[in-house]
Amino acid sequence: MPLITYREAIKQALAEEIEHDENVCIMGEEVAQYNGAYKVTEGLWDKYGDKRVIDTPISEAAFSGLAIGASCLGIRPVVEMMFMSFSYVAIDQLFNNASFCRYMSGGLMNVPIVVRGPANGGTNVGATHSHTPENMVANHPGLKVVCPSNAYDVKGLMKTAIRDNDPVFVMENTLLYGEKWEVPEEEYLIELGVANILREGNDLTIVAHGRCAMSALKAADILEAQHGISVELVDLRSIRPLDENTILESVKKTGRALLVEENKPFCGVDAQISHLIQLKAFDYLDAPVHRVSAIDAPQIYAKALEDWQIPNEERIIAGALKCLA
């Protein structure tokens, strides 16, 4: 299989879906002639033109509203946010309108939009550009959220998201854009709400998503090599819908759970998962559920501090050893 970057995998998914469905279009700031702020849409405007790849004014509220209205009439817009924190500017459009249109119309209107872009820290761009809002988006019934950890997943999940009739947020990570994975040339889709067991083990379950899954994978290798600890790693892929069964079956198997996420700990995704485990797998636990989250403070600008604020291999290993103590 070809080895391609996370960035290229997204672009392939977008191009394939534009060709698959004449109603798919891309819109956002600088996505066309400038090829996208992160070059994810590079070459797509040259190939597909103004009607399929649309540069918008610098107004997230305006082009999100445009996308929602167009989607109600059958268009399938893919909206790029230069930073996912910029979606806050469009919070009424996305969280208050897109999420509830189908429900409030009695199922008569679908809102098949995708909102995609980087949702991560670790790039030293300050507090207002470093949000991981998957927990906040998932709190709204009607919105779906996926957090792909690798190129294979981001392509398959992106294609599925574009074909979905509900609004789907695809939370990407700028630190993954240049990383490479094997991705098949033949077409494939990945179902929303299906987690992936990246590594099988018997002593400890680690549940993670996005780039944290890759950090946890490295930590798991070190734990086995240096401490003889067999880690099972569950990559969520999808936050909402959530694959509860895969999480629970893994925890029942190992008896211990370490939850890793870049969200801040208060009301984070892992707070929900911790509740799920204690509610439905409490009798299988040999130790309390442990968490490794981003340190609960505004995102730190200084690189040395931000690298520690986000879960890294060292913090994950320390959390695992504490869980197994």
Q: Would you say residue 190 lies in a domain?
A: no
Where a domain ends, among 148, 182, 216?
Answer: 182
* Number of domains composing the chain: 2
Q: Are residues 89 and 146 in the same domain?
A: yes
Q: Are residues 37 and 171 in the same domain?
A: yes
Q: What is the pLDDT of residue 133?
A: 95
Give the active site residue among 8, 17, 29, 60.
60
Q: Are residues 201 and 177 in the same domain?
A: no
Distance CA 154, CA 10 (A): 6
The pair of three-digit structure tokens given for residue 19, joined into one six-digit string: 């060709």
**Whether the Cβ atoms of residue 313 and residue 319 lie closer than 8 Å to each other:** no
Residue 283's CATH number: 3.40.50.920
Give the active site residue among 17, 129, 172, 290.
129
Q: Are residues 248 and 299 in the same domain?
A: yes
Q: Would you say residue 187 lies in a domain?
A: no
Q: Are residues 156 and 223 in the same domain?
A: no
290 is catalytic: no
60 is catalytic: yes
Q: Are residues 54 and 151 in the same domain?
A: yes
Q: Are residues 201 and 293 in the same domain?
A: yes
Q: Are residues 208 and 291 in the same domain?
A: yes
Q: Are residues 168 and 289 in the same domain?
A: no
Residue 163's CATH number: 3.40.50.970
Q: What is the pLDDT of residue 231?
A: 98
Q: Containing domain of residue 281, as a range?
A: 196-324
Strand partners, 172: 118
Q: What is the pLDDT of residue 1?
A: 87
Q: Are residues 225 and 162 in the same domain?
A: no
Per-residue pLDDT of the chain (325 residues; tens, 9 = 90+): 899 999 999 999 999 999 999 999 999 999 999 999 999 999 999 999 999 999 999 999 999 999 999 999 999 999 999 999 999 999 999 999 999 999 999 999 999 999 999 999 999 999 999 999 999 999 999 999 999 999 999 999 999 999 999 999 999 999 999 999 999 999 999 999 999 999 999 999 999 999 999 999 999 999 999 999 999 999 999 999 999 999 999 999 999 999 999 999 999 999 999 999 999 999 999 999 999 999 999 999 999 999 999 999 999 999 999 999 9
Q: Would you say residue 36 lies in a domain?
A: yes
Q: Are residues 177 and 216 in the same domain?
A: no
